[in-house]
């Protein structure tokens, strides 16, 4: 069976997650004022409207916005190139690798589109318990996190095979 047959599912997941990410962020920006919150599950989960000009947990959010935007767009493009190289290496190593890379790529693209259009990423999922709040995040962040975890599981279960090199005897 050709490895190419396995690529339709991961590609569909990538496109659907990217669409859900962008549509959910569009909805949040349209329905909630900046910093507004709507309680969904009391004591556990709210929808909020935050923006993040930095990276995870707001790191590197300070400084010159022009430089920061250029840096994060460039870093994401570099990450996408590395993901393409990684895909070429593991594309026939199993479906779990393909789904993991699809999730990571969809998340990277979702946040990249925000940075290009808005200069910052829209975050809106706020989980908490009592006074402890996990930093707000979005669908793209979730896809990246789950994708990285799946990639580690795939590597643990089925380490990538090294390409065969013909030896001259």
Active-site positions? 123, 141
In whole angstroms, give the CA distance from residue 156 to residue 83. Answer: 19
In whole angstroms, give the CA distance from residue 70 to residue 60. Answer: 13
- Pairing between strand 132-133 and 37-41? unpaired
Q: Is the dihedral of CA 149, 151, 155, 158 positive or negative?
A: positive
């Amino acid at each position: 069976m050709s490895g190419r047959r396995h690529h339709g599912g991961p590609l569909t997941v990538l496109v659907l997650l990217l669409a859900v990410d962008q549509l959910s962020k569009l909805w949040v920006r349209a329905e909630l004022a900046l910093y507004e919150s709507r309680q969904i599950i009391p004591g556990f989960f709210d929808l909020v409207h935050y923006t993040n000009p930095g990276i995870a947990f707001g790191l590197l959010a300070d400084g010159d916005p022009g430089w920061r935007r250029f840096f994060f767009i460039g870093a994401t493009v570099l990450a996408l190139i590395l993901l393409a190289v990684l895909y070429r290496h593991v594309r026939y190593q199993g479906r779990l690798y393909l789904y993991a890379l699809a999730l990571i790529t969809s998340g990277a693209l979702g946040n990249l589109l925000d940075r290009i259009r808005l200069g910052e990423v829209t975050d809106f999922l706020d989980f908490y318990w009592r006074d402890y709040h996990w930093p707000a995040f979005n669908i793209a962040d979730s896809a990246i996190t789950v994708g990285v975890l799946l990639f580690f599981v795939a590597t643990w279960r089925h380490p990538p095979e090294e390409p065969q090199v013909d030896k001259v005897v």
